[in-house]
């Protein structure tokens, strides 16, 4: 596996070989193993990225999505605070995941300040369902799914980016500009 990180020019053809250390590491966690080459002193400092996930949470993926959408773009302290006072069941689990990810970032990924992180990506996915029988009247039955979901989060070091605000005035300006740009093609 260490061949992936060899820096010498002679062994660059080995760095594209797919080698896996452990067979149970899924795709999202494997992002944590990516190593970048050392930066030159004039380049801007690359922000640290930490990927974390939790699998097979006993909760619905659609219900989890609402919480994931809520914390997208928030700084980590704000996200943890909001989830602490949210009444949903998924909020407690999500908060644990965020705290784990923060600790991992400080310990393993050389992040200096634990509050200097923000949630760059956060989404939920479908886990493996268990099937059961749901009994109906008249001998009818339905197959009941016991739902499980996965939750994925990516924390990036730095200040959370501000979303661009477009006011009505900006939109009106753009509309008028579009009208002004109209011209007659193939004219004399």
Partner 1 sequence: MATSITRTFGSLRIVAHRSLKNAELALDVRHPGPLFLPVRTKKRYFIPPAVSLKGKKEENLEAKARAAGIVFRQQYLERSINISCSAGVFDPYIPPEGDARLSTLSKEGLKQRTEQIRQSAASQLAIRKIKEYDSQFSTKTFAEQAQEIFVEAHNSLTHFNKEKLHSLVTERCYPEMTRGNRYKTIRWRFVESLEPPRVVHVRCPDMVTKGNLYGQVTVRMHSKQTLAIYDRFGRLMLGSEEQPKDVLEYLVIERHLVNPYSRWRLHGKIVPSWAPPKDPIIKTVAIPGPDLKPGEEFDALNYEVPKPEAVQWNK
Give the x/- contact pattern for partner 1 in 39-68, rule: CB under 8 A: x-----xxxxx-------------------
Query: Taking CB under 8 A as the rule, does residue 12 contact partner 1?
Result: no
Q: How far is the CB of 6 from partner 1 (least distance, A)?
A: 6
* 171: three-class secondary structure by DSSP: helix
Out of 26, 34, 58, 92, point to the residue binding partner 1 (CB under 8 A): 34
What does the DSSP 8-state code read for residue 56? E
Q: Could you report how far apart the first and last alpha carbons of the chain are, in Å? A: 68
Give the x/- contact pattern for partner 1 in 91-120, rule: CB under 8 A: ------------------xx-xxx------
Q: Which is nearer to partner 1, 151 or 157 (CB)?
A: 157
Distances (CA, A) of 132 to 55, 145, 159: 21, 6, 46
Q: How far is the CB of 186 from partner 1 (least distance, A)?
A: 54
Query: Taking CB under 8 A as the rule, does residue 166 contact partner 1?
Result: no
Radius of gyration of the chain (CA): 24
Please name the residues in contact with 124: beta carbons below 8 A apart, sequence gap of 6 or more: 61, 64, 65, 68, 149, 150, 151, 152
Pairing of strands 130-135, 149-157: unpaired
Provide the binding-site residues for partner 1, judged by CB under 8 A. Answer: 2-3, 5-8, 11, 33-39, 45-49, 109-110, 112-114, 130-133, 135, 138-141
């Amino acid at each position: 596996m260490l061949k992936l990180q060899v820096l010498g020019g002679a062994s660059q053809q080995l760095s594209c070989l797919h080698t896996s250390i452990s067979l149970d590491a899924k795709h999202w966690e494997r992002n944590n193993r990516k190593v970048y080459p050392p930066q030159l002193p004039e380049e801007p400092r690359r922000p640290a990225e930490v990927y974390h996930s939790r699998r097979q949470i006993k909760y619905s993926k659609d219900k989890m999505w609402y919480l994931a959408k809520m914390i997208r773009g928030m700084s980590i302290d704000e996200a943890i605070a909001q989830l602490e006072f949210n009444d949903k069941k998924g909020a407690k689990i999500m908060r644990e995941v965020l705290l784990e990810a923060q600790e991992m970032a400080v310990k393993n990924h050389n992040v200096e300040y634990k509050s200097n992180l923000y949630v760059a990506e956060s989404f939920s996915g479908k886990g493996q369902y268990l099937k059961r029988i749901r009994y109906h009247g008249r001998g009818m039955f339905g197959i009941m799914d016991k739902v499980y979901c996965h939750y994925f989060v990516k924390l990036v070091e730095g200040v959370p980016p501000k979303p661009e605000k477009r006011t009505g005035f900006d939109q009106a300006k753009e509309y008028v500009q579009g009208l002004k740009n109209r011209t007659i093609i193939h004219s004399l």
